């Protein structure tokens, strides 16, 4: 029997936790997670044999400094057994992207890539830029590397094929051609200037072009132009000539020449000074659809092969890989990765590093791009390090800040009040960390900047303290920069005191616009110090101005988005029982929400899908104002 005065058993830590789990592990494939004392996820890994893999962590010595620190921080582990190592690889990638463990290689800024969509759920197909799951019926082409690449291609396709880009609600209410028709970007099917059969042929031609049948389409258009000219239909011949020129522009915009490659993604990784860059080229339908550059987060001792392996499985976690993936060097476990991709798409996926020919040339071009991007990144990082050291010196911080939070508010005459927060650090602006705060307190006087700032700060740091109490990973800034003067600063100091924090916990600086709002004449305020200014040509002043301007841009953007959302609100959305289908039917029948508001009860009953009860509800809603 234990002594009543003895202390409770200490919880296991580090290698003891691993040994304790090891005794119960099967020699089967699976995924393991390592957690710290605060329940933060330290690492996610996969294994062909969980028992064998985890036993490597249980041995003394032989680990890198990073792995040793991870083992020492481990407070508990979790395991998921899978049927195959392939399933483990796919699950590992999904968990890493969702949990962002501290010791894993992470793909930064993993936004969804845009597509071009030709919608087929309408009698008159619409062409548009599209992101998200493929739920809309139509032809999808992509991915494109950036929204700009899609916009450029769409702009040219409009000139070449004259397809509509307008929403169905706009299309249904047109009674005369819009400006796009006047500038020869649309064939105006909305008012019958082209019959539906001819328009459908244009949509099919656009789809063929995006599928890589550009040469056949070019020959057909040239033949049609020559026929029209021979028939002295010079207007039609000129129109076809313009379309041929527009298609030539798309093909001339290719930055790389994908000779003999119909569909492939090309990856090239370069490393220097513990930093890596991965360049990606997208080849679809024999055309270059743009490029993107990525800077994965990883420890300095990681190899290029390990980084590229982790990058690829995370990159394709939410998107389907093409038939061919070319790299400048083979990633770790290339065969397993290829097998996992084939499992997802249901067909063979070739993953290889070409040694000769056109494919080798493309990979080398991607490698040169990666090298150039990495050089720029390292140069920027050196400059950023110097600036952060100067910030620490300017504001008497104990060390250069690694996380600076900058706050600003935006509204118009007190409406659509929004607070914005941007984050900056050694790698520049951390856009994934940006936040917006819709002002919720109904007691705030419209336009009261002090009260708005108080609500934003209270919510921001109250949440951080709650996460700390709940054992979650919390993030406190090394410096808070406020767009405002002494009044805003005092408000924030009061909020911190209210929450039990001090300016030692959260260093504060406010930046007030200069005399006559001139850049370079800004005043800086810190608690307990006299206001001061920096030399107008000081690099650190330019940096602080950039931080303030970015917060201003972000807050204004959030405000405009909120205001635009309010403007787009339809009164039909407020009526119980009016879903998307009935709303669409009503708008198509009456042309607009105003038309619905003026409709008689008998007219409302005549709309397909609107019952007697719903018609009465709609009629009563508008009659009551």
Residue 507 binned pLDDT confidence (cut-offs 50, 70, 90): very high
**Mean local confidence (pLDDT), 69-86:** 89
Whether 571-623 and 264-377 are alike in CATH topology: the answer is no
Pick the CATH number of 15-99 from 3.40.1440.10, 2.60.40.1730, 3.40.50.300, 3.40.50.11540: 3.40.1440.10
For 361-375, the pLDDT digits (tens) are: 889 988 998 988 888
Q: Which of 11-20, 286-295, 379-388, 567-576 has the lowest mean pLDDT?
A: 567-576
Q: What per-residue confidence (pLDDT) applies to 412?
A: 73
Q: Hey, what are 67's tokens? A: 């792995």
Residues 307-354 have pLDDT tens digits of 999 999 999 887 888 889 999 999 999 999 999 999 888 889 999 999
pLDDT of residue 380: 80
Residue 12 has pLDDT above 80, yes or no: no
pLDDT at 5: 47
Element containing residue 248 per DSSP (H, E): helix 234-252
* Beta-ladder partners of 326: 266, 352
Q: Among positive and negative, which fits the CA dihedral 62, 66, 69, 73?
A: negative
Q: Does domain 571-623 have CATH number 1.10.150.20?
A: yes
CATH 3.30.70 at 264-377, yes or no = no
Q: Is 60 exceeded by the pLDDT of residue 291?
A: yes
When computed from its CA atoms, the radius of gyration of the chain, rounded to whole angstroms, is 30
Looking at the predicted structure, is the pLDDT value of residue 7 above 50? no
Q: Give the domain ranges of the chain.
A: 15-99, 115-252, 264-377, 404-566, 571-623
Q: What is the mean pLDDT of residues 60-82?
A: 85
Which of 355, 347, 296, 361 lies closest to 329, judged by CA?
355
More confident site: 3 or 215: 215
For 523, the 3-state DSSP assignment is strand
Q: Check pLDDT > 70 for residue 50.
A: yes
Q: What is the structure's pLDDT at 427?
A: 82
pLDDT of residue 384 exceeding 70:
yes
Do residues 126 and 163 lie in contact, with contact meaning Cβ atoms separated by under 8 Å? yes
Which is higher by pLDDT, 216 or 615? Answer: 615
Q: Is the pLDDT of residue 395 over 80?
A: yes
- Select, from the ranges 336-345, 468-477, 572-581, the one with the highest average predicted confidence (pLDDT): 336-345
Residue 4 in this model has a pLDDT that exceeds 50: no
Label residue 110 by pLDDT band (50, 70, 90): low
| Overall size of the chain counted in residues | 625
Least confident piece of the model among 28-42, 231-245, 312-326, 409-423: 231-245
Range in 327-331, 456-460, 479-483, 585-589 the model is least confident about = 585-589
> Does residue 254 register a pLDDT over 60?
no
Q: Report the number of secondary-structure helices (H) and strands (E) in the chain.
A: 20, 18
Percent of the chain topping pLDDT 70: 91
d(CA 255, CA 590): 48
Where does 23-64 have alpha helices with state H? 50-58
If one compares 618 and 414, the residue with the highest pLDDT of the two is 618
- Residues 197 and 190: their CA atoms lie apart, in Å, by 14
Question: How far apart (Å, rounded) are the C-alpha atoms in residues 611 and 515?
Answer: 64
**Interhelix angle 85-99/304-315, nearest 10 degrees:** 80
Q: How far is the CA of 479 from the CAs of 164, 395, 484, 495, in angstroms?
A: 49, 9, 15, 16
Burial class (CB in 10 A: 0-12, 13-18, 19+), 621: middle
What is the C-alpha separation between 120 and 84, in angstroms, rounded? 39
pLDDT band at 503 (very low <50, low <70, confident <90, very high): confident
More confident residue, 566 or 19: 19
Q: Is the pLDDT of residue 516 over 80?
A: no
List pLDDT tens digits, range 184-211.
888 899 988 888 888 998 898 888 878 7
Higher per-residue confidence, 582 vs 111: 582
Residue 389 CA to residue 387 CA, distance in Å, equals: 5
- Please state the rounded mean pLDDT for residues 492-513: 90
Q: Which residue has the tokens 């336009």?
A: 447
- Region 10-16: mean pLDDT is 72
Three-state DSSP class for residue 290: strand
Does the pLDDT value for residue 259 go beyond 80?
Answer: no
Residue 418 bridge partners (DSSP): 410, 438
Residue 474 has pLDDT above 60, yes or no: yes
Give the pLDDT score at 270. Answer: 94
In this prediction, residue 567 has a pLDDT band, given cuts at 50, 70 and 90, of low
Which pTM value belongs to this model? 0.66
Average pLDDT for residues 279-283, to the nearest whole number? 88
404-566 fold:
Nucleotidyltransferase; domain 5 (3.30.420)
Mean pLDDT rounded to a whole number for the chain = 84
Listed ranges 128-137, 352-361, 374-383, 441-450; the one with the highest mean pLDDT: 352-361
Q: Nearest to residue 112, comparing CAs of 97, 133, 127, 140?
A: 133
């Amino acid at each position: 029997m234990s002594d009543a005065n003895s202390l409770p058993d200490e919880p296991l830590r580090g290698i003891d936790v691993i040994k304790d789990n090891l005794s119960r592990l099967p020699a089967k494939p699976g995924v393991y997670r390592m957690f710290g004392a605060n329940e933060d996820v330290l690492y996610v890994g996969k294994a062909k044999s969980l028992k064998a893999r985890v036993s490597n962590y249980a041995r003394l010595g032989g680990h890198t400094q990073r792995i040793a620190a991870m083992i020492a921080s481990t407070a508990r582990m979790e395991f998921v057994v899978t049927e195959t190592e392939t399933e483990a690889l796919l699950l590992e990638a999904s968990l890493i992207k969702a949990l962002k463990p501290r010791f894993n290689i992470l793909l930064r800024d993993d936004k969804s890539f845009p597509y071009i969509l030709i919608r087929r759920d309408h009698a008159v197909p619409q062409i548009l830029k599209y992101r998200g799951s493929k739920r809309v019926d139509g032809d999808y082409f992509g991915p494109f590397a950036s929204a700009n690449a899609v916009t450029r291609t769409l702009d040219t396709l409009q000139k070449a094929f004259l397809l509509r880009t307008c929403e169905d609600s706009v299309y249904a209410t047109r009674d005369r051609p819009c400006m796009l028709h006047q500038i020869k970007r649309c064939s105006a099917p909305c008012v019958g200037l082209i019959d539906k059969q001819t328009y459908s042929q244009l949509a099919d031609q656009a789809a063929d072009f995006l599928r890589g049948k550009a040469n056949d389409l070019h020959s057909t258009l040239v033949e049609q132009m020559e026929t029209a000219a021979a028939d002295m239909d010079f207007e039609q011949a000129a129109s076809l000539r313009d379309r041929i020129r527009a298609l030539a522009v798309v093909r001339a915009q290719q930055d790389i020449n994908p000779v003999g490659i119909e569909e492939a993604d090309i990856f090239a990784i370069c490393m220097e000074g513990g930093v890596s860059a991965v360049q990606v080229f997208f080849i679809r339908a024999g055309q270059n659809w743009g490029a993107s550059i990525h800077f994965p987060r990883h420890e300095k001792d990681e190899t290029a092969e390990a980084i590229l392996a982790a990058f690829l499985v995370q990159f394709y976690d939410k998107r389907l890989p093409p038939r061919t993936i070319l790299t400048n060097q083979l990633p770790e476990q290339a065969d397993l990765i290829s097998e996992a991709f084939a499992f997802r798409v249901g067909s063979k996926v070739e993953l290889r590093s070409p040694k000769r020919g056109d494919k080798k040339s493309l990979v080398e071009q991607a490698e040169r791009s990666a090298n150039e991007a990495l050089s720029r990144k390292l140069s920027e990082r050196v400059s950023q390090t110097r600036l952060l050291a100067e910030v620490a010196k300017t504001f008497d911080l104990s060390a250069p800040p690694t996380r600076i939070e900058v706050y600003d508010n935006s509204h118009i005459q007190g409406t659509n009040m929004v607070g914005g927060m941007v984050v900056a650090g050694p790698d520049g602006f951390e856009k994934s960390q940006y936040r917006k705060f819709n002002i919720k307190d109904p007691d705030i006087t419209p336009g009261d900047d002090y009260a708005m700032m108080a609500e934003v700060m209270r919510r921001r740091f109250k949440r951080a303290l709650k996460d700390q109490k709940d054992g979650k990973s919390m993030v406190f800034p090394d410096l808070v920069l406020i767009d405002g003067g002494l009044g805003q600063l005092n408000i924030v100091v009061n909020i911190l005191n209210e929450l039990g924090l001090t300016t030692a916990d959260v260093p504060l600086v406010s930046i007030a616009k200069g005399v006559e709002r001139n850049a370079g004449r800004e005043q800086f305020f810190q608690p307990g110090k006299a206001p001061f200014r920096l030399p107008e040509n000081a690099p650190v002043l330019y940096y602080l101005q950039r931080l303030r301007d970015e917060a201003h841009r972000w807050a204004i953007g959030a405000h405009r988005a909120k205001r635009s959302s309010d403007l787009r609100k339809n009164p039909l959305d407020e009526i119980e029982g009016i879903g998307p289908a009935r709303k669409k039917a009503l708008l198509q029948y009456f042309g607009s929400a105003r038309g619905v508001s003026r409709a008689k009860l008998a007219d409302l009953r005549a709309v397909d899908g609107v019952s007697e009860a719903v018609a009465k509800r709609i009629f009563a809603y508008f009659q009551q104002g």
